[in-house]
Structure 1
Amino acid sequence: MVGLGSVSVPVVKQYLRYVETLDIDVPALLLGSNISAATLTQENERISGEQLQAFLASLIIATDDLLFGLKSGAFVEPGSYSVLGYITMTCATLEQALERIQPYEKLVGDMGVTSINYQPQRLAINWHCAYTFEDVREQMVDNVFASWLAYARWLSGQDLGPLEVHLQRAEPTLELRQHYQQVFNCPVLFSQPSNSLILPREYLNIPLRQPDHSLLQTLELHAAGQVSALGDAHSFSIQVKDIIRILLAKGITRKDMVAGQLNMSERTLQRKLQQEQTSYQKLLDEARLLLAQQYLTDTLLPVDDIAMQLGFSETRSFFRSFKGWTGQTPSVYRECAENRVHRN
């Protein structure tokens, strides 16, 4: 699709769960936005971004409430994020869940783009909304941030809160500012360069309540195929790297299996990667490095086992490759990681 792209039905249904608590003619809202009630019964269906923008614009008028974005965030469910929601449910830590947002957020919709800036003591999760109506955009940012916070609290079972919330819009009235403070329980700054949640970096290590590594791998393979089917909002090489990473966690490095996940031949796979000035081997090495660092930092697996898991025919080849990537041997890297943990 062009323009504002498309949005998954669960996104609309989260707003509807909130709207249904109000005295509003929901069928009229949907009809005026050209959204079929039958479409909303199919979780895997999508509507256009223009339809969602029209729906939210009508909702702003119907509610006459500048806080409906914040309030609707409380109605988030795992299914609100489509497959991405179930993927994050099976992650072991909040860091793992955050790492899955960028590769798979297109499955939720083309509403905006997430980026994460990591700093020594904190991190900023930024969300750039793609919608064109200013009032709709502001309500969507509020909904996204309130939803993220509510969902993170549910995933972790902890009363998490940001250090600060940054919003690009002009500062509202005192009454509205107080409501923002109540929802986020932290300073909320307006007229900022970006829309961002500022979190303590230690949140990355918070364990989640339902980790399931095997299910995570299965869901990611399914999600990678869905992203590919939706088009090229993400570069092809990013899609390939995601699939390599998922298969590599199972000890699989075969190019033909990666191509199969994308419903194409190996030759087509390599040609499309060349068009993006990369190669299968380069993406495989990047995925190997990422997994190797995770294994060395987060597990007690012997180096020989890690080399085998990453598809190296012998440990010596793994040592040579890892030192080329990082300047350190695997053993030295693990020792340094342990020292950093002890210092903290």
Structure 2
Amino acid sequence: MTSHDRIKIPPGFWIGLREIGFSMEEIAAKSQMNLAEIERPEGVTTSQYFTIWQAYSELVGNISEAVVKLSTAYDPRQYPPSMLATYHARDYRDALNRMAKYKRLCPPENLRKTETGENCHIELSWTDPAQSGPAMLVAITFAALLELGRRGTGQPIKAKLVEFVEPLGDGQLLQDYFGCPIRYGADNNRLTMKRSDLDRPFLSHNEELLEILTPALEHALDERQSKFSIVQTVERIMKRNLAGSRPEMLIVARDLGMSERTLQRRLTEEGTSFKKILSRVRHETALAYLMDPSLEIHEVAFLTGYEDQNSFYRAFRLWEGETPSNWRIRQKSTSTLAR
């Protein structure tokens, strides 16, 4: 996920949670967020989104149980447009193709679907490699893909294999739900299906609705790609030149083959600035590095472009309201409690 994106949580998510006995207020309290942050029209940040999922996982207590409960409780009538287009697809293959494509409209996950021999593989990666989501979110995404096929076809479709990079809770519960072996410690998060199941027609197919939804979704994809391309490029250049120095606009502009004035104008047109992007990149990079216990604070400061540790401390207090050391301790404590 690009750092300037925000994630809009669909109303159906909260409705599904209420169906299984949890409220938005409980999630907010557990995630140490206020309702105003969660309900912002532009959505939440990647970190906040991951925190919300972690809060739900901790409230349920058993990650596997949390996955199964929410996957089966989610009402298709509450799907956002991108998901609705998959539910009313022609068949399971069409639905998965649409899901992989339209997932780009609602990060932070990327889905890559391939068909080889008798298998269909769906791999999950994160749009922003510096921010990996909780294992709970990987599992709920794979469960949603399987649930889509089951609801669309009306058949009890089973997976062939589910692989996770990180371990989860009750493996037997997930194995019963997916109907296949569960493997932990894999190189990638991967869901493997029977290729023959992809030919199953959807009972929920609605061609008229697809004719309405598809052009709008395709337009949104084109608009998104056009809108964010320059910001993504600036961020990539910044990250590449961040260690040990503050990336200068002149250097970034030269890399892009344009003048500083042109670069600033392009960024202004997209509602941002060089300074805002740099602060955001440093912030998110710092959080990612602080999660690595092998790095000292002064090393994190250097890797995020600060020449001295005091400047890094001042910036971090503005971002998080506490010192990098305290933030790291709190994250470690939260992670320990989650286990």
Aligned length: 226
Query: Could you tell me how far apart the structure 2 residues matched to 1:232 and 1:35 are?
Result: 32
Deviation at 1:217, TM superposition (A): 2.6
Partner residue, 2:324: none
Q: TM-score, normalised by structure 1?
A: 0.57
Partner residue, 2:9: 9
| Structure 2 CA distance for partners of 1:76 and 1:4, relative to 1, 3 Å | farther
State how 1:1-344 maps to structure 2 within 5 Å: 2-3=2-3, 5-10=5-10, 13-14=12-13, 17-18=16-17, 21-22=20-21, 26-30=24-28, 32-36=32-36, 39=39, 46-67=43-64, 68-78=66-76, 81-107=79-105, 109-130=106-127, 136-170=133-167, 176-232=170-226
| Structure 2 CA distance for partners of 1:61 and 1:213, relative to 1, 3 Å | closer
CA RMSD of aligned residues (A): 3.2
Deviation at 1:157, TM superposition (A): 0.7
Any gaps of 5 or more consecutive residues in structure 2? Answer: 231-339
Output one character per residue of 1:273-295: Cα deviation in whole Å (capped at 9) or x when no partner.
xxxxxxxxxxxxxxxxxxxxxxx
| Structure 2 CA distance for partners of 1:233 and 1:111, relative to 1, 3 Å | farther
Deviation at 1:153, TM superposition (A): 0.5
Output one character per residue of 1:150-179: Cα deviation in whole Å (capped at 9) or x when no partner.
221111111111111111124x67xx1211
| Structure 2 CA distance for partners of 1:37 and 1:80, relative to 1, 3 Å | farther
- In the alignment, is the contact (CA less than 8 A) between 1:91 and 1:208 conserved in 2? yes
Structure 1, 75-84 or 88-97: larger mean CA deviation: 75-84
Task: Kindly report structure 1 stretches of 4+ aligned residues shifted beyond 4 Å.
Answer: 130-134, 231-236
- Does the residue aligned with 1:211 lie in a helix, a strand or coil? coil
Any gaps of 5 or more consecutive residues in structure 1? Answer: 237-344
Output one character per residue of 1:122-155: Cα deviation in whole Å (capped at 9) or x when no partner.
1111111457676x52000111111221221111
Query: Could you tell me how far apart the structure 2 residues matched to 1:210 and 1:5 are?
Result: 32
Q: What is the identity, as a one-letter code, of the residue corresponding to 2:202?
A: L
Q: TM-score, normalised by structure 2?
A: 0.57
| Structure 2 CA distance for partners of 1:164 and 1:234, relative to 1, 3 Å | farther
| Structure 2 CA distance for partners of 1:166 and 1:61, relative to 1, 3 Å | closer
| Structure 2 CA distance for partners of 1:46 and 1:229, relative to 1, 3 Å | farther
| Structure 2 CA distance for partners of 1:21 and 1:77, relative to 1, 3 Å | closer
Query: Could you tell me how far apart the structure 2 residues matched to 1:191 and 1:164 are?
Result: 14
Identical-pair percentage? 17
Query: Could you tell me how far apart the structure 2 residues matched to 1:20 and 1:211 are?
Result: 26
Query: Could you tell me how far apart the structure 1 residues matched to 2:102 and 2:218 are?
Result: 7
Deviation at 1:231, TM superposition (A): 4.2
Output one character per residue of 1:22-67: Cα deviation in whole Å (capped at 9) or x when no partner.
4x66425326334438938x8xx63332321222233344333333
Query: Could you tell me how far apart the structure 1 residues matched to 2:79 and 2:20 are?
Result: 21
